[in-house]
Structure 1
Amino acid sequence: MIKYALKCEVDHGFEAWFSSSDGFDEQAAKGLVECPMCGSAKVTKAIMAPMVRTSKEEAAPIEMRQAVAEALHKIRKHVEDTHTYVGGAFASEARDMHQGLTPERPIYGEATTEEVKALVEEGVPVAPLPVMADKPAPAVQKKLN
């Protein structure tokens, strides 16, 4: 596993873990790496100092990674269970609610990077959902059930 400091096209900084040094390049080329703040898929590696482990330090235990995956799956499941899916109409639905044109209700859906930027600039509260595999790893699935 390797951790990279990343930044999106609007300079949001964040970190992400990848399975190998080529992992970022492969995922970014497929548009799978997105900024957690604005959803932009135009993400690049930021300058960072290397982290050198001493022999006394241990890598993050698998339980910690499983706990994070479990939490992300719970967030996603909660949103899917309690919000209305509006698909590609997300930006217009969110804007209409923000402007008081339609009653507020919890929604989720898809929006382009440009639509998300416009919503944020207009002050519409939006947040990206964790993008997860259709089915969590068996250990995480067991804890969710």
Structure 2
Amino acid sequence: MAFEVFDKRNTSLRRAPSVSIQKRGVISINRAAYTLMGAPECVELLYDREDGVVGIRGVGDDVPHGYAVRGAGRSAGTGPVMVAGSAFTAFYDIDTTISRRYPARMDDDVLCIDLDAGTEIIGNRGRRHAAPPADAPPAATEHDR
């Protein structure tokens, strides 16, 4: 019998490449997509108005319009990376009223996402503060416990 050691850091590379645009315009690139790009330190943001496609291309840190890529919290090196894209999304009037995830594909040296192909992201954070359904029993108070 031959055992293999499971390394959880390898699991994210098997996921499909995707890019999320969050409510505040932050662009989150999952590890699979970032690896496809060659893991650049800086990127430039591109937009095709006619087709509604966002492009992300790796550039050197000497490019004046480049954006630094940042690791996300404790998962730096294994998790998604972030790009500050609020000025970009505002300039091109890209809807950021809700967070959306888009499948990503490489076209030559550009990571592309089609803005018509996104799905809404529903996370845990918003649910904690959501109002309970109308038919829900009243919440217990400190006195009831």
Please tell me whether Structure 1 or Structure 2 has the larger radius of gyration of its CA atoms.
Answer: 2
More helix by share: 1
TM-score range, shorter chain: under 0.3
After TM superposition, the score normalised by the length of structure 1 is: 0.24
TM-score of the pair, normalised by structure 2: 0.24
